[in-house]
């Protein structure tokens, strides 16, 4: 015998009694569900620590030129004089010193710290841009498919399935060089902005499906709710239905999926850059740094260590925050 119905009844009994007292409070302005979620988030220590880390990372990325100014070293400056005859940095732990906090790259002798800061900037920019674009596509397609249904739903579902069936890596591997050749030719230098745009484009094409499915499911569930019918019975048009009635009720899952998509794009960017289809070496990025550092895994482990730990901390913080956000927005799911 399952316990769920029994526990459910008991909880419903407690909860239905719980809300009743609220209107007896003195103040007049109500606490919106969003505000309640914020209060819950504030109480969650994991959320506060990971959120603080994220804010710190983002400020660092935004203020990269400022950091460069204060630090006094640019991402492209080379310090060959601090390398030995084999191109390895002098000193301990890959050349860590008061001047070069995280040491130097073997070979080119660039400063790892400032390249990490700029790499963070690149990664976050790509990840956020891709997440915003995929979320937008997903929300628009998902809402339309879910609310209007019929042939539109069938078509959008079909496109979703088609996209999911395409092998992401293979297409990314095939597409990126082709695009680059198409625009730049064999020997021209590829502009960093172009590389970034291609990456975002690839992510956008492949990344929207999960959001679209999520939103579609949510909208279908909401469509049958009585408050939506009440609006329909009052003669509300499509715009009112979508923007006033439906979207305010699904931004919570959208936000959660957004916050979990960002770290996914960060790792994807690193992975693509690592296998060489992403960014060129000129653009500082986590993936490129880890790719280059692998040659020195034995001789200069510090070179792997710093970018590795940075990407780990960033993705970990994002995931923790995303989970905490989900708990705060939908407290029942976590019980």
Partner 1 sequence: MGRSESVPSGQTGDHPSVPGQRPADGPYLRVNDLRVRFDTEDGVVRAVDGVSFTVERGRTLGIVGESGSGKSVTSLAILGLHNAKRATIGGEIFVGGRQLVGLPEEEVRRLRGRDMAMIFQDPLSALHPYYTVGRQIAEAYRVHHPRAGRREARQRAVDMLGRVGIPQPARRFDQYPHEFSGGMRQRAMIAMALVNDPDLLIADEPTTALDVTVQAQILDLLADLQAEFHSAIILITHDLGVVSQVADDVLVMYGGRAVERGSVEQVLRRPQHPYTWGLLSSVPSLHGDADADLVPIRGNPPSLINLPSGCSFHPRCRYADRNGDRSRTEVPELRPAGQEGHLVACHLAAEERQRLYREEIAHVGVAR
Partner 2 sequence: MSEVGTAPAEAEPLLRVRGLAKHFPVRTGLRGHSVVRAVDGLDFDVRPGETVGLVGESGCGKTTTGRMLVRLLEPTAGTIEFEGRDITHAGRRELRPLRQDLQIIFQDPYASLNPRHTVGRIIAMPLQVNGVAPAGGVKARVQELLEVVGLNPEHYNRYPHEFSGGQRQRIGIARALALRPKLIVADEPVSALDVSIQAQVVNLLRQLQRDLGLAFVFIAHDLAVVRHFCQRVAVMYLGKIVEIGDRADIYERPQHPYTRALLSAIPDVTRLGPGGRIRLTGDVPTPLDPPSGCRFRTRCWKAREICATEEPALVPRDGGGQATACHFPESGPVPQEDGGTAGTAVEEVSK
- DSSP letters of 291-319? HHHGGGTTT-HHHHHHHHHHHHHHHHHHH
- The token duo for 8 is 């459910």
Shortest distance (Å) from residue 27 CB to partner 2: 10
User: What ranges in 166-246 are assigned the alpha helix state H?
Assistant: 168-184, 192-223, 226-233, 238-239
236 binds, among partner 2, partner 1, none (CB under 5 to 8 A by kind): partner 2
R_g of the chain, CA atoms, integer Å:
25
Residue 58 neighbours by CB under 8 Å, 6+ apart? 124
Query: Judged by CB under 8 A, does residue 148 bind partner 2?
Result: no
Residues 6+ apart with CB under 8 A from 313: 53
Nearer to partner 2, 2 or 16 (CB): 16
Phi–psi pair at 280, nearest 5 degrees:
-75, 170
Which one of residues 1, 3, 28, 170 is an interface residue with partner 2 (CB under 8 A)? 28
Q: Rounded to the nearest whole angstrom, what is the least distance from the CB of residue 245 to partner 2 in the complex?
A: 6
Tell me whether residue 17 or residue 185 sits nearer to partner 1 (CB atom).
Answer: 17
Backbone phi, psi, residue 175, to 5°: -75, -45
Residues of this chain, 207-226, that bind partner 2 according to CB under 8 A: 225-226
Q: Residue 150's CB: how many other CB atoms inside 10 A?
A: 8
Using rule CB under 8 A, residue 20 touches partner 2: yes
* Partner from partner 1, partner 2, none contacting 248, C-beta within 5 to 8 A by type: partner 2
Residue 223, Cβ density class (10 Å: 0-12 exposed, 13-18 middle, ≥19 buried): middle
Give the single-character DSSP code of 234.
Answer: T
Residue 232 lies near partner 2 (rule: CB under 8 A): yes
8 binds partner 2 (CB under 8 A): no
Say which entry of partner 1, partner 2, none residue 70 contacts (CB below 5 to 8 A, set by partner kind): none
Q: What does the block give as tokens for 80?
A: 């060959």
**Which residues contact partner 1 by CB under 8 A?**
1-7, 9-10, 12-14, 16-22, 40, 43, 331
88 CB-contact burial (10 Å; exposed 0-12 / middle 13-18 / buried 19+): middle
Considering the rule CB under 8 A, would residue 85 count as an interface residue with partner 2? no
Nearer to partner 1, 13 or 161 (CB): 13
Q: Which does 2 bind (CB under 5 to 8 A by kind): partner 1, partner 2, none?
A: partner 1
Which one, 26 or 239, has the nearer CB to partner 1?
Answer: 26
Residue 48 CB, nearest approach to partner 1 (Å): 16
Q: How far apart are the first and last CA of the chain?
A: 21
Q: Does 230 bind partner 2 (CB under 8 A)?
A: yes
Taking CB under 8 A as the criterion, which residues in 233-292 touch partner 2? 233-237, 240, 244-245, 248-249
- Residue 43 makes contact with partner 2 by CB under 8 A: no
> Which residues are near partner 2 by CB under 8 A?
16, 19-20, 22-23, 28-34, 225-227, 229-237, 240, 244-245, 248-249
């Amino acid at each position: 015998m399952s316990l769920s119905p029994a526990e459910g009844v008991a909880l419903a009994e407690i909860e239905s009694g719980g809300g009743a007292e609220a209107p007896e409070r003195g103040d007049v302005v109500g606490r919106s569900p969003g505000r309640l979620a914020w209060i819950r988030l504030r109480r969650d220590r994991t959320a506060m620590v990971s959120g603080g880390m994220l804010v710190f990372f983002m400020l660092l990325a935004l203020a990269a030129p400022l950091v460069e100014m204060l630090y006094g070293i640019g991402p492209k400056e080379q310090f060959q004089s601090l390398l030995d005859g084999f191109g390895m940095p002098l000193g301990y732990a890959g050349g860590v010193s008061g001047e070069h906090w995280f040491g130097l790259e073997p070979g080119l002798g660039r400063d790892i710290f400032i390249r990490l800061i700029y790499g963070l900037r690149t990664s976050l920019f790509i990840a956020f841009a891709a997440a915003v674009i995929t979320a937008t596509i997903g929300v628009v397609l998902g809402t339309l498919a879910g609310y209007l249904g019929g042939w539109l739903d069938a078509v959008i579902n079909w496109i979703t399935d088609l996209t999911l069936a395409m092998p992401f890596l293979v297409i990314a591997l095939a597409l990126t060089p082709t695009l680059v050749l198409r625009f730049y030719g064999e020997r021209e230098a590829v502009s960093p902005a172009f590389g970034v745009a291609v990456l975002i484009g690839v992510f956008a094409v492949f990344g929207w499906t999960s959001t679209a499915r999520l939103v579609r499911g949510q909208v279908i569930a909401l469509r049958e709710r009585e408050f939506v019918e009440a609006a329909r019975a009052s003669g509300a048009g499509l715009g009112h239905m979508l923007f006033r009635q439906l979207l305010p009720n699904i931004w919570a899952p959208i936000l959660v999926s957004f916050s979990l998509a960002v770290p996914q794009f960060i790792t994807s960017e690193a992975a693509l850059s690592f296998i060489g289809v992403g960014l060129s070496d000129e653009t500082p990025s986590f993936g490129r740094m880890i790719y280059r550092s692998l040659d020195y895994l034995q001789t200069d482990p510090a070179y792997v260590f710093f970018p590795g730990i940075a990407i780990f901390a960033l993705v970990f913080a994002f995931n923790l925050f995303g989970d905490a956000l989900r708990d705060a927005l939908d407290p029942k799911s976590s019980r």
